[in-house]
A = this chain, B = another copy of it.
Amino acid sequence: MVTDSPPLPPRAVVLLSGGLDSAVSLAIARERGFRCLAVSFRYGQRHAAELRAAERVARALGADRHVVTSVDLRSIGGSALTADIPVPKDRAMADVGTGIPVTYVPGRNTVFLSLGLAWAEVYGAGDIFVGMNVLDYSGYPDCRPAYLRAFEAMANLATKAAVEDGRRICIQAPLIELTKREIIARGLSLGVDFGLTLSCYDPDEDGCACGHCDACRLRLRGFAENSVADPATYRTGVEDVPSP
């Protein structure tokens, strides 16, 4: 009996930081039937714990393959995530997510998306999934929808795949308009094990979160709003989860 072979699943590149948002983005790509190449970056961040988290998340969520590409943003400097600038702690929740914080890394998302584009061409992917969301990070210009649309337009003029082979690039940002509460709820519904993820800007060497930086505070509030305990490991002193 001759049967048609099943159609090949479409391929996607998923930028995976090890944090909560990009894990949910990968889960959504998998739910939509994509075969996924998870791409993380060693960019001179002060801690490598997030790369270990990304590896765990890629495996747990069934990525085809996980790669880590090195790019030296540390020598460019200018951010609390790569230079010797203190990570802010215990900021008022009204300030978290507004203005451009010192954790902003100049050009970072553009560099990461560009490397994701290079991987997409080699892997044969048309879709690039990112975990950006505009509400929690309104201060970062390179997390906004207009920026992502402009990147996509550029990408479709940049590669041999797009220009000669007609493989359109689509930047997928499924979380772009979701709150942290909604992102966590979406992840829980897809079975994401958030205990594998690491959001903290200032974890210790074992990957335990500080509980006090903007990223921890947004995350803790998101879990509280879902009436679910955050399964991540915190070092100490997060009993005072900020109220929503």
Contact = CB atoms under 8 A, between A and B. Distances in A.
Interface in A147-193: 147, 150-151, 153-155, 157-164
Interface in A62-99: 67, 69-73, 75-78
A141 B153 contact: no
A76 B118 contact: yes
Chain A interface size range: 35 or more
Contact of A117 (B72, B107, B121, B150): B107
A122 B77 contact: yes
Q: Which of A67, A107, A113, A164 has the most CB of B within 10 A?
A: A107
Contact of A110 (B107, B108, B117, B161): B117
A150 B151 CA distance: 8
Main secondary structure of the interface of A (DSSP, over half): helix
A202 to B, nearest CB: 21
B141 A110 contact: no
Q: How many copies does the complex hold?
A: 2
Given A69-B72, A72-B70, A109 B158 contact: yes
Nearest to A105: B118
Given A154-B147, A157-B146, A158-B147, A106 B118 contact: yes
Given A106-B122, A114-B110, A122-B106, A67 B75 contact: yes
B141 A160 contact: yes
B76 A164 contact: no
A122 B158 contact: no
A100 interface: yes
A144 interface: yes
